Structure 1
Amino acid sequence: MRRRNRPHIKQAHNNHVHRWTVSYADYMTLMFALFVVLYAVLLNKKDNYQEVIDAIQSAGQFVHKTPSNLQSNELLAPTIVTQDETLSKEPLETPESDLTVEINKKIKPELSVIPSSDQGESLAKLKLSLESALNVELASGAFSVNLEGDWLTIEMTGPLLFAAGSHTLLNGAKRNIKYIAEVLKPVNNMIRLRGYTDTKPISDEIYQSNWELSALRAISVLHALNDDGIAGARMAIEGFGQYQPVLSEKGDIDEFKSRRVVIAISRFALFVEPKSDNNIKVKIKEKENNLPTPIPKPDSEEIREVFLPDGRLIITTRQE
């Protein structure tokens, strides 16, 4: 009897029909790990359990803060907030827990306090002294004194400071710089002199560009301050060229005020290297050199035998 072959039903292969089981298994593994960690924290550190709960809830925007009367082993179910309620209510502000604050302190340590030995005279006091010494110039608008952060700036502008295309100080500017030097001479704050030019480009046999002109203007003020008693170790120069012009109230560039020098006074003092003890060492060495040289004893006619610790034998007539 002949056997009849049954037709095979073709099935689709490699269609990844069971791939969802892999994602589901990963999800269940993560959830299992989460609850294991929570259970371990509950057993070992019951006091920190509430802090862990608060930290997890603060990470999600849809979970409200745990009430203070909730026990440490109770979890809050997530509260569903509709779109209308979200628009009508203000955003929930969740205060940081002690654990979060401690972690933030470790990540972002507080800035160290600057020692008082590295700070100069109070900038607020210097501002008052400068305003008193430059009251006429401040009233005319030729000078301005501003205190911002770690810098007290004196901006000297106008045509009475420099001529166009020149770094030579005019006589009126030298007189005003002398007033400034009288205020800054008794203190030890560091000073930066910033030179600027107008927007007109310059290139001749004296100045290759506006950078040279702005730097030389700062140097002119530096020499004037140094001649009036300001120590050169306290000062440095900066040249900005034509790239930071002064604007008028209408927003236009003021070419006259752009030709300026800014005296920037730092809150930090000039670093003074501590006194070295090299002089003491030199004096000690000189004293040792001046000690009298011991006079050797004359040789004796008697022959001596000297046994050294290493077993050697020395035969000598010296008395030492």
Structure 2
Amino acid sequence: MRRQVVDDNVHHERWLVSYADFITLLFAFFVVMYSISQVNETKYRVLSNTLNKTFNKETQLSLDPIQMGEPALKNNVSLIDLEAMALKNSEGEAEGEGGGDDEGELPEQFHKITDNIAEVFGDLVDTKMIHLQGNEEWLSVEMKSSLLFEVGDARLTVPSMELLAQLAGLFKDSSNPMRVEGFTDNVPISNEFFESNWELSAARAAAVVRLFAEEGVDPVRMAAVGYGEYQPIADNDSPAGRDKNRRVVLMISKTAQLRPVLPELAGDRDFKAPQPEQEPEPAAVPEGALKGVKTIKLEGGGLLFTRDNPPAENP
């Protein structure tokens, strides 16, 4: 019996399946490589701190709300302008015709900063978590410590890093000097990190300065100052008063100097180090000035007056 031969149809394009899989994997590889090459430092730091706090379980994350994205403007006039207008009106009522004085108006550069802050952080300004004050020389941006730190801690919370990064973007292109000031309430603190409120307030101010520097603000323009509990703006006898006293304030100067340049004192220029006293050289007495007295110069210095003849030298 003859064996029946069955034709096996060979598909000569099966290699396309493997080739397509290879191309797909190669495309995915390059997409992943491109995505990890674009690193946002702020988002990376936020992700890193979130993972650390989640797995270490050391502290709980702050539940304070934070504005993300572009909030809608409440009105076209910033809060600090409204306060300045109210202050001028009250002064005008008290002084009669003093309402038309332009002495307390903000400079143009401060108007630009306050408008940007009101646009980006409108909700926080409305809730007084960020408070703006100023005059013709200084602009104050006050932030509640609960917006940035946990109680008794100087490490920035994860949401506050994003907030301060946005705030640093508003100051990065400005040339105004900025002093970051830390304040606390009068509740004593003593732990392994801070022995007093002095250290806590200074460490909080330094943390804000360090993040601003990482975000591109020129470090030469900044300084960190800690006042501790000794500059309160409210009574520390109540919880509400202590909450007001716990704050971080950005003091922005109109002038271009972070510290004053002082002239050298006249006394310092004329001051010379005292020279060691020297024995005066004995005045030479001319020969024959005294009748019968001979003057002999001694080997160790000085003069010898005598009426005797000097001894003859040995041959």
| Bigger Rg, structure 1 or 2 | 1
Shorter chain as denominator, the TM-score bin is: 0.3 to 0.5
TM-score normalised by the chain length of structure 1: 0.44
- What's the TM-score, normalizing by structure 2? 0.44
